[in-house]
Structure 1
Amino acid sequence: MILQNIFKNSETKKQMHQARMLNGQSPIFSQFGQSVYASDVVQMCIDVIATECSKLQPKHIRTDPSGMQTTVKSGINRLFKFAPNELMTTRDFLEKVIWLLYLNYNAFIYPTFEIKKDNRGLEYKEYTGFYPLNPTGVEFLQDSIGKLFVKFQFANGQQFTLPYSDIVHLRKKYSVNDIMGGGMDGQPDHQALLKVLQINDALLQGLEKGIKTSLSIRGILKINTMLDDDKQRAEREKFEAAMARGSTGILPMDLKGEYVDIKPDPKLVDKDTLEFLDNKILNNYGVSIPILTGDYNDEQYQAFYEKTLEPIVIGLGQAFSKTVFSPRELDVGNEIVLYHKNMMYLSTKAKLDLLKTAGEQGLLTDNQKLALLGYPPIKGGDKRTMSLNYIDVDLANAYQMGRAKATKGGAENE
């Protein structure tokens, strides 16, 4: 990626000073602590979350005053359909963003755009790409009128200063710092997790050493005579050669030697202790054992989605919408929504229940029903069908009132 070609709107000549933070901290942050990521459990947790988020379908939609939503034919949807930039597919892009978010507790995305004019002569941004950034340091600056800028420094030493309003900024554990996610210094706060990981690592190392020690010493050769070191060595080599030749399993020995067998019995840490430590790590990332192993049911995945994935989905949509749309565009209903429409994880029974409920209400087209069952679309399958067992509430009330009047009129005529 050639940064010079991407950062066309970089501002380096304007006079600026450090932004003033409410807590008095200096707004300079380095990227970022990574010591916990040596743990295989931590990496597996992040990988599960990033992989699931990579299945999201970003869409530019518009909601009218009546609440009806339509997909907008725009450059944003064209980019998100297959490739947000020339280096990544949409799946790659989302996976990388989530990895950066969990590695740094901050993820920065730079949208490239061109300024164009519509038929009325009004300017608008036509987006040409979205690029996840991985800076080694960021600094927040203000110009003379108080506009906020962010200065990125990268591993190759290059620096670029961009308007903060042009950057999609995602944060995790956004708490004590005014601008950045993580702890007070804008970095991941892993102190509590590190203690658990250190204990877990010490136990695993102890297991390895215990097993090696227990299995490496199989027996003791007791020599029943007084021998010097050279003669002891010769006797041991003679014994080992006899073992190597012992195809029958019977080892011949003379009266000078006695072999004492040691039964291997490695002492391992109990299962409950190891599971307790693993669960503390998993709970920190909101990932359960069934989700990690892929052996989950509908309820377990739904809990994982609501606890771990849904906040990310909402945050992604809001961060993108805030950056790529002007206040006027937001006012008329434009937004970015990330749909989690792939329901293939559902069991067959759950799919059939969904088809029955949504199908009877006319919420799904025939092709959407087929896709839910894993079948390809059919010609003419874009129509919606619904059950006649349902009726509009107002029509039902009118029907019942008409029936009541008819019944009353009939009774009076009698």
Structure 2
Amino acid sequence: MAVKDFFKNIFSNSSSGSTQKQYARFLDGNSPVFTQFGQNVYASDVVQMCIDVIATECSKLQPKHIRVDSDGMQRNVKSSFNRLFKFAPNELMTTRDFIEKVIWLLFMNYNAFIYPTYEMRDDGRGNLTKNYTGFYPLNPTDVVFLQDSIGRLFVELHFANGDKFTLPYNDIIHLRKKFSVNDIMGGGADGQPDNQALLKVLQINDTVLQGVEKAIKTSLSIRGILKINTMMDDDAQKKERDKFEAKIAGGKAGILPLDLKGDYVDIKPDPKIVDKDTLEFLQSKVLNNYGVSMPILSGDFTDEQYQAFYEKTLEPLIISFGQAFSKTIFTDREIDVGNEIVFYPQKLLFTNTKNKIAVADILGNRGGLTNNELLALFGYPPYEGGDVRNMSLNYIDVKLAGQYQLKKANMKEAEKNVQD
């Protein structure tokens, strides 16, 4: 099956109803028709490297469907979501591929749309629930928001091959970047990336780099001038120049013989190249726009530098992913009883051996990790019977601490009475 037909089949079971629809009306008065989206800033290698770093780090996230009980404890749930995101949320992508693609779409368009496919099933108690069969990142060329006679919001997605599909907006996972002046889309007022300020910096940076390239070429191409002290026509000048070049090529001793007709004037190359501070300033303007520092870009960072990168750039993305997925996947009732999607950053935060030892010491001693989980933290395979939790006797349940101390106090009081 062709990829084109494959994506058509994804939407074949979706139904938007046959009721009459009109353009959705937004409070800002703008038209609800959005075109995807300017891409000229992505010709810059620095921009691509910044997005690639963010996408690569986010691809290490571990999406999980959990349930938080009335005591605030998180419980793992056996669900179709966890089954899909363990390895492959759809037939074309692994979980890592999926997250990386969504990040690229989000940073390129300031909006990312994900369509979850599902089947309705009876849970055995007479309730219909959604059994998810796949999650697909979409890359539409145009997006139109519509509403029906009772105010329900729909999104009409147009694709590059001419296909279009109208879907309930509640069925679409919609991620936004720089969600500000537009009522429903990320980016600027027109629902597109507002890259004007960044474009100016990139244009200056490109002009500087072109100037450096030309200066280097010029310094390597002209090394001297041959002054011919007689009047010659063009053919004669060419013959004299050819003879001079032949002498240069054959001058093994480094001594160039000339007759009285010619003088050689040496040109000492001194190209004026933009100083290092200016180049670094221009590059830092681009890096700061994406929240990526030079140590993060090069991979030579300290724990403190990575922590700053995580808190400033990655953590807001991780939070928005969890909230957007939870909002679309679960009903209000399911959210009320504690269901949510969490994108766990464990593989991001514990990247070096020192941090792994620290988390193993803290969580391992308190029974927070099984023996096999501790082995996995350091890259070792599990062993049979290793799914047990051990804890140090130096710690005690806070509920038992008061009883323990009271018992100790009573024992001391009893010992004192015996001695008296």
What is the TM-score with the length of structure 2 in the denominator?
0.94
Q: Which secondary structure does the structure 2 equivalent of 1:108 belong to?
A: strand
Q: Please say if 1:236 is aligned against 2:233.
A: no
Task: Give the conservation status (yes or no) of the 8 Å contact 1:220–1:262.
Answer: yes
Q: Please say if 1:221 is aligned against 2:221.
A: no
Q: For 2:8, which of 4, 26, 50 is the aligned residue?
A: 4
Q: Please say if 1:357 is aligned against 2:362.
A: yes
Q: What CA distance in whole angstroms lies between the structure 1 residues aligned with 2:398 and 2:126? A: 48
Q: For 1:103, which of 100, 103, 108 is the aligned residue?
A: 108
Could you say which residue in structure 1 is the equivalent of 2:405? 400
Structure 2: gaps spanning 5 or more residues: none
Q: Please say if 1:49 is aligned against 2:67.
A: no
Q: Work out the percentage of aligned pairs sharing the same amino acid.
A: 69
Q: For 1:333, which of 319, 331, 338 is the aligned residue?
A: 338
Q: What CA distance in whole angstroms lies between the structure 1 residues aligned with 2:285 and 2:384? A: 51
Task: Give the conservation status (yes or no) of the 8 Å contact 1:218–1:261.
Answer: yes
How many pairs are equivalent? Answer: 414
Q: Which secondary structure does the structure 2 equivalent of 1:376 belong to?
A: coil
Could you say which residue in structure 1 is the equivalent of 2:264? 259
Q: What CA distance in whole angstroms lies between the structure 2 residues aligned with 1:356 and 1:195? A: 50
Q: Which secondary structure does the structure 2 equivalent of 1:385 belong to?
A: strand
Partner AA of 2:221 in structure 1: S
Could you say which residue in structure 1 is the equivalent of 2:162? 157
Q: Which secondary structure does the structure 2 equivalent of 1:149 belong to?
A: strand
Deviation of 1:15 after TM superposition, in Å, equals 0.5
Could you say which residue in structure 2 is the equivalent of 1:117? 122
Could you say which residue in structure 1 is the equivalent of 2:310? 305
Q: What CA distance in whole angstroms lies between the structure 1 residues aligned with 2:331 and 2:412? A: 60
Q: How does 1:3-22 map to 2 (within 5 A)?
A: 3-7=7-11, 8-11=13-16, 13-22=18-27
Task: Give the conservation status (yes or no) of the 8 Å contact 1:344–1:372.
Answer: no
Structure 1: gaps spanning 5 or more residues: none
Could you say which residue in structure 1 is the equivalent of 2:140? 135
Deviation of 1:33 after TM superposition, in Å, equals 0.9
With 88-97 and 73-82 compared, the bigger mean Cα shift is at 73-82
Task: Give the conservation status (yes or no) of the 8 Å contact 2:110–2:176.
Answer: yes
Could you say which residue in structure 1 is the equivalent of 2:375? 370
Partner AA of 2:288 in structure 1: N
Q: How does 1:158-197 map to 2 (within 5 A)?
A: 158-197=163-202
Task: Give the conservation status (yes or no) of the 8 Å contact 2:156–2:166.
Answer: yes
Deviation of 1:70 after TM superposition, in Å, equals 2.1
Distance 1:86 1:347, change over 3 A: closer
Partner AA of 1:199 in structure 2: I
Q: What CA distance in whole angstroms lies between the structure 2 residues aligned with 1:325 and 1:110? A: 14
Q: What CA distance in whole angstroms lies between the structure 2 residues aligned with 1:171 and 1:297? A: 30
What is the TM-score with the length of structure 1 in the denominator?
0.95
Q: Deviations over 1:163-183 (max 9, x none)?
A: 000000000000111000001
Deviation of 1:344 after TM superposition, in Å, equals 8.0
Distance 1:248 1:275, change over 3 A: same
Q: What CA distance in whole angstroms lies between the structure 2 residues aligned with 1:206 and 1:147? A: 56
Task: Give the conservation status (yes or no) of the 8 Å contact 2:61–2:348.
Answer: no
Task: Give the conservation status (yes or no) of the 8 Å contact 2:228–2:263.
Answer: yes
Q: How does 1:51-90 map to 2 (within 5 A)?
A: 51-90=56-95
Task: Give the conservation status (yes or no) of the 8 Å contact 2:350–2:356.
Answer: no
Deviation of 1:10 after TM superposition, in Å, equals 4.2
Q: Which secondary structure does the structure 1 equivalent of 2:384 belong to?
A: coil
Distance 1:289 1:131, change over 3 A: same
Could you say which residue in structure 2 is the equivalent of 1:296? 301
Deviation of 1:391 after TM superposition, in Å, equals 2.2
Q: Deviations over 1:343-367 (max 9, x none)?
A: 5863322222222222222211112
Task: Give the conservation status (yes or no) of the 8 Å contact 1:152–1:160.
Answer: yes
Q: Which secondary structure does the structure 1 equivalent of 2:367 belong to?
A: coil
With 237-246 and 133-142 compared, the bigger mean Cα shift is at 237-246
Could you say which residue in structure 1 is the equivalent of 2:39? 34
Partner AA of 2:368 in structure 1: L
Q: Which secondary structure does the structure 1 equivalent of 2:368 belong to?
A: coil
Deviation of 1:214 after TM superposition, in Å, equals 1.5
Q: What CA distance in whole angstroms lies between the structure 2 residues aligned with 1:52 and 1:230? A: 65
Q: What CA distance in whole angstroms lies between the structure 2 residues aligned with 1:43 and 1:144? A: 44
Deviation of 1:110 after TM superposition, in Å, equals 0.7
Q: Which secondary structure does the structure 1 equivalent of 2:137 belong to?
A: strand
Q: How does 1:266-277 map to 2 (within 5 A)?
A: 266-277=271-282
Q: What CA distance in whole angstroms lies between the structure 2 residues aligned with 1:391 and 1:188? A: 54
Distance 1:153 1:393, change over 3 A: closer
Distance 1:344 1:313, change over 3 A: closer
Q: Which secondary structure does the structure 1 equivalent of 2:300 belong to?
A: coil
Q: Deviations over 1:191-226 (max 9, x none)?
A: 111111111111111111111111110111111222
